[in-house]
Amino acid sequence: MKPMIDMYLGTVKISILQQFQYRVANYFYMIGMVAEPVIYLVVWSTVANAQGGSVGGYTAQGFAAYYIVWTLVRNMNIVLTPYAWESRIRRGQLSAELLRPTHPVHLDIGYFAGWKFVVIVMWLPIAAVLTLAFRPMISPTPVEIAGFAVAIWGGFFVRFFLQWALGLLSFWITRVSAIFELYFTIELLFSGRLVPLSLMPEWAQQIAALLPFKWAFQFPIETLIGRLSTEEILFGLGMQALWTAIGIAIVSIVWRTALRRYSAVGN
């Protein structure tokens, strides 16, 4: 256990130092991602004002709170893309990783987890500017803050393991872009990333509750902005734990079979 903990701490430390070395690039990347939620925010705030002050249970200030927290959750949800697996296998990069005594999934978790600590620090000035510009309505309680602190990491792990598992399809299919695009389209519609799910039809909300995407994205946001009761927060954390366990199980089962098909070599 201690060697594994040391490995994680070392990988996280290296990732943090690396990301701070490229802090300007990280900032430009994060600022570039602000354009998407700002567009959503302006559009839905306008709709809310046109509808008498609110739509789907959100006022203009409520949308401001939603999409400002959105920027942090979105950055926290960036994990290893399934497309990376095509490159790893095609170029033989995985050959070198398999020579290490540690499962590649642990190295990826450590790297991306370290990146998230940098993301949180760098997000604070961006949040301050957006708060001054849009005046969100948000006053979380200690329970909501604590729940959010757990939920954003829960969302990270849900998305990490499911996308890691999805990337393993590359062991069987040479070009899997179409499958990945379909997956990301479904995620976009049922995660609350495009619009809060309360603006979607009832049948769409019911489907979203059964899928993992809502628990990785909208659930952490609604936890912090005060739209969930304590019971709903605990239920959501339980759903995150369930989907994380499902993702781990899929990775464990598929990985062993996938390795038998691996035949790429290094340069």
* Angle at alpha carbon of residue 109, lines to 108 and 115, rounded to 5°: 90
pLDDT of residue 264: 59
Model confidence at 172, in pLDDT bands (50, 70, 90)?
confident
Q: Where do the structural domains in the chain lie, given as residue ranges?
A: 2-259
pLDDT of residue 237: 97
Model confidence at 96, in pLDDT bands (50, 70, 90)?
confident
pLDDT of residue 67: 94
Q: Is the pLDDT of residue 50 over 60?
A: yes
pLDDT of residue 91: 78
All residues at 6 or more sequence positions from 184 whose CB lies less than 8 Å from its CB, including other chains:
none
8 Å CB contact between 133 and 143: no
Tell me whether residue 144 is exposed, middle or buried, using C-beta atoms within 10 angstroms of its C-beta: 0 to 12, 13 to 18, 19 or more. Answer: buried
pLDDT of residue 245: 97
pLDDT of residue 94: 83
pLDDT of residue 265: 53
101 half-sphere exposure, CB direction, 13 A CA radius: 3
pLDDT of residue 54: 87
For the ranges 36-40, 147-151, 233-237, the lowest mean pLDDT is seen at 36-40
Can you tell me the mean pLDDT for 231-240?
97
